Structure 1
């Protein structure tokens, strides 16, 4: 690790490597910034993806984070972006407090279809949908740089110091929540990991699903009524790894392997004629979910039946490849 870098060398350092720091207001930059070494610390590119997954196309949701200048690599003002009204902890059975749950449910229920029953996945079904994203326009850091930055609740003061954040700031609260989310106990049948680099994201999923995989994401679409225009195509088997991009100063993905699920690519046609292919996940058994989960309030059911939901546009889902597509 090199000494702290400041002033003009710091700016030259970042510009040379096409890692742009974007702040909405003038802020003091971190006092310590890990240096890059030629070769093993170069900015992440598609090369590592295709070295591990030579037969798997790179999804657009991930490709965007690898384009120099497309997204900034590090931001401090990440609390003001758009945020999905229902995040992964709500969709996947995690319950983080009655007040927060009710507030989220109250704001989300009138707006769009969030959860729906498995039997509703058929041509002709109409749903009002809003395809959200994490709202965090950040890209990956090189692996060795990401690994040099603390990422745990017991290092919280160090993290705030690194990013020059005040302990009572909204950004600090988000960082605390997201790290706590990563460190929370696993649900039954769940294995999870927070990937702080492109390389660790790939390694986690390849280790669990192998190299013969598809990586899918939902196409963007504006909020309006959509109709399922054809039979949904099942992808993979009854196991999938879902990676949600969380709100953080640089790209971090919360990945979890979930069994007892089915993944479908759903062809949709919007009221204005736009066509969208959306990825939906169906949880075949919700009996282990909290009875207070928002899905049961939305659908007016008790835990147990299969429940489906669409994925955000910057969420990645990894599934084993199948010989042929299947339909529900």
Structure 2
């Protein structure tokens, strides 16, 4: 399942990039829009055993990803999640075991979508909530409000960010960052299930690194994280490294081809953020890395780099 979904997303995005507007309907028909992801993660049916981890791995983890550089005090209960998110570049070694989660999603085939003409903004929140028939105090409405606030927050120094409500809008933003005449390509994390006893990868589990990580060699990249109703895309001028890491689940042998980003300069990050607390370091003292755990999270790079 995971390979099929990952390939579907990847092929759809490549088609969109290669053929532009002409392929838009194909791509949007085969890949999952941010709105579909939002409805699944907030209103779809989850297996009972996934309920206590669903919020932690689909939304809260993504919020931690996009908030880590802005800082601010995180609730104490988020520390255990951060321990499964952030790691040091020295941890990426052959044979090293990491505790992590790689959330997977079986997405419903037919779901409501926001009208493309409706601006996704905080002032339109009541209309968005009404469109989905959510109550104003529902978890879904609160998740959407938090996403909107993150989208409308001022970027940090040296950062350009954008919340895209469609794949086409995301592509235009990425193209503008990487160059209008540059062919672009998305990298995603993919899972290969080899066991007849599949595990719930939403849970924190042990994964062993199978090979020395591969440095993609991209000097410029745009990261796009799935959040309720949007892709949260951002680019920073600070140095970072994109890596491809092969891992094996210690419990059943499932293999993960994971995309990781290591931020080489953390001197501008808020020193109060829990990433420094759980790693026991200070801003600017060591690179901080994290995986893009879901096949719906994207790292865009120039295609010439990806083909090397």
- Which TM-score band applies after superposition, normalised by the shorter structure? 0.7 to 0.9
Q: Deviations over 1:280-326 (max 9, x none)?
A: 11000111111121211111111111011111212011012455889
Higher Cα Rg, which structure: 1
Figure out how many residues of one structure are paired with residues of the other and give that number: 266
Q: CA RMSD in A?
A: 3.6
The reply on whether 1:308 has 2:289 as its aligned counterpart is: yes
Q: Do structure 1's residue 83 and structure 2's residue 63 form an aligned pair?
A: no
1:12-49 residue CA offsets vs partner (Å, 9 max, x unmatched): xxxxxxxxxxxxxxxxxxxxxxxxxxxxxxxx998644
- 1:152–1:179: 8 Å Cα contact kept in structure 2? yes
Cα displacement (A) at 1:104: 1.2
Q: Which residue of 1 is the match for residue 49 of structure 2?
A: none
Q: Which residue of 2 aligns with 1:39?
A: none
Q: Does residue 228 of structure 2 align to residue 257 of structure 1?
A: no
Do 1:65 and 1:139's aligned partners in 2 also have CA atoms closer than 8 Å?
Answer: no
Distance 1:268 1:154 in 2: 43
Q: Which residue does the alignment assign to 1:65?
A: 32
The structure, 1 or 2, with the larger RCO (C-alpha pairs under 8 Å, 6+ apart) is 2
**Counterparts of 2:93 and 2:120, CA distance in 1:** 43
**2:205 counterpart residue number:** 224
Higher helix share: 2
Query: In 1, Cα distance between the equivalents of 2:240 and 2:110?
Result: 29
What is the aligned partner in structure 1 of residue 255 from structure 2?
275
Counterpart in 2 of 1:147? 116
C-alpha contact 1:226 1:270 (8 A) present in aligned 2:
yes
Shift of 1:167: 1.8
How high is the TM-score relative to the length of structure 1?
Answer: 0.69
Ranges in structure 2 where 5+ consecutive residues have no aligned partner: 1-11, 47-53, 193-200
What is the aligned partner in structure 2 of residue 21 from structure 1?
none
TM-fit CA distance, 1:191: 0.6
Give 1:50's aligned residue: 18
Alpha-carbon distance between aligned partners in 1 of 2:254 and 2:279, rounded to the nearest angstrom: 27
Provide structure 1 residue ranges, at least 5 long, that are not aligned to the other structure.
1-43
Partner Cα distance (1:74, 1:324) in 2: 29
Q: CA deviation at 1:87?
A: 2.8
Question: Are the structure 2 counterparts of residues 253 and 188 from structure 1 closer, same or farther at C-alpha, using a change threshold of 3 Å?
Answer: same
Match for residue 108 of structure 1 among 78, 81, 88: 81
User: Shift in Å at residue 213 of structure 1?
Assistant: 2.5
Residues 193-232 of structure 1 mapped to structure 2, 5 A cutoff: 193-210=162-179, 211-220=182-191, 222=201, 223-232=204-213
Match of 2:260, SS state, is strand
Q: Are 1:319 and 2:301 matched, yes or no?
A: yes
SS in 2 for 1:78: helix
